[in-house]
Structure 1
């Protein structure tokens, strides 16, 4: 019986240690970490989450874009691609036009700059977030929001959101006008065009990785 208690205690400690290791990547964006590899190699090192993303990067010729220096990649999960394929009628990935995939993946790649979570304005700031130009010249929008903690508003960790501004159905330009009230509260918009970041500020040797939530739909369809 005594030996059983020792075994049980060891199993609990081992499970806790494993959970802590996993938490470093999946716990909602409050942890940071240094990766001893570039962005592309990091994605390849986690095939259970990013092997489809790596396939798209290779297929579209964008692998080199996430290997260059000073790149920020908002990494969608494989599940995001599954959501996308369901959204377009259950098509198989290898039947989707390569140019379509290239344009879609380019929305997540921001060359020439490292975008850290703390550099993105909070949604309640006068700036109301920030517009940022992706690899293909497509303008995306980033903002941050602070969660509650123990029931106290705005006392918790800060999370990033990434938006496709062209998804707003009523004059999307108003969304970024700091003197207007938040138009998404007044005008109909499509919730498919934004997604939260579950883990941010992963520092690769050549840039920054922010992992997009698996509930996201690849390409921000609307």
Structure 2
């Protein structure tokens, strides 16, 4: 009963602030998710965040796909590409080889093969994907989608719990799957076991809607380009590293 009264009192206080004191609350309306331009143009406007990504798109020969076709693009930010290149250079140093200082030193086919895993035909927003629960795959497995590269990736929405905490941080109540929802893209290492050891990448920003599809931006802090960095390194070295151009 004591906890119930505390929750009721807190709710009344919040409502009082929202309705009785305009200084602390202002209705800003619904932010427009649509963008009057294609996906490439949107990314060009956000160039500091997508600078390396744009370079990789062009090196991979996928600029027309990103700018003209109706697609869903889970865009890896420049920071995720930088982390994978850094790992590649560590491997190159260990083996006594020259390091990579220009993205053009990686063969175009390597960029295309890996970047195509982030591209899907058709326009899909968060609401179009099924629920996924990393602790209960059998009940909520998300769904497999075939990427532009032909590789199957798992996409799903995590339904977080709605939790009410006391002023001491204790959980007063929890309602399963009633909290905020977050979109995830997952790499499946072993396609014969599609629910085992998935590399789960959260989406930082979802449902950006340029004129030719939907753009979801991956969390740069929790993603290395290529999902499995060792695979990226292996492909880059096997294809051969181009010499640096002046």
Q: Post-superposition shift, 1:36?
A: 1.2
SS at match of 1:37: coil
User: TM-score, normalization: structure 2?
Assistant: 0.65
Q: Residues of 2 paired with 1:96 and 1:146: CA distance?
A: 39
Q: Post-superposition shift, 1:155?
A: 2.3
Aligned counterpart for 1:119 among listed residues 128, 131, 135: 128
Q: Post-superposition shift, 1:35?
A: 1.0
Q: Post-superposition shift, 1:174?
A: 3.2
Aligned to 2:16: none
Check whether the contact 2:61–2:108 (CA below 8 A) recurs between aligned residues: no
Q: Post-superposition shift, 1:126?
A: 4.3
SS at match of 1:89: helix
Q: Residues of 2 paired with 1:149 and 1:95: CA distance?
A: 48
Q: Residues of 2 paired with 1:98 and 1:194: CA distance?
A: 26
Q: Post-superposition shift, 1:89?
A: 2.8
Aligned to 1:196: 202
Check whether the contact 2:132–2:159 (CA below 8 A) recurs between aligned residues: no
Aligned counterpart for 1:165 among listed residues 179, 182, 188: 188
Aligned to 1:73: 73
Q: Residues of 2 paired with 1:157 and 1:199: CA distance?
A: 13
1:130 counterpart = 2:135: no
Aligned residues: 178
Q: Residues of 2 paired with 1:142 and 1:50: CA distance?
A: 22
Check whether the contact 2:59–2:104 (CA below 8 A) recurs between aligned residues: no
Q: Post-superposition shift, 1:134?
A: 1.2
Alignment of 1:46-195 (within 5 A): 46-90=46-90, 91-92=100-101, 93-111=103-121, 113-124=122-133, 126=139, 128-151=141-164, 152=174, 153-166=176-189, 168=190, 172-176=191-195, 184=196, 189=197, 193-195=199-201
Question: Which has the greater radius of gyration?
Answer: 2
Deviating beyond 6 angstroms after TM superposition, the runs of 4 or more aligned structure 1 residues are: none
Q: Residues of 2 paired with 1:146 and 1:87: CA distance?
A: 33
Check whether the contact 1:32–1:200 (CA below 8 A) recurs between aligned residues: no
Q: Residues of 2 paired with 1:40 and 1:98: CA distance?
A: 19
Aligned to 1:37: 37
Root-mean-square deviation over aligned CA pairs: 2.5
Check whether the contact 1:202–1:208 (CA below 8 A) recurs between aligned residues: yes
Structure 1 residue ranges without an equivalent (≥5): 1-16, 25-30, 177-183
Structure with the larger RCO, 1 or 2 (CA within 8 Å, 6+ apart): 1
Q: Post-superposition shift, 1:104?
A: 1.0
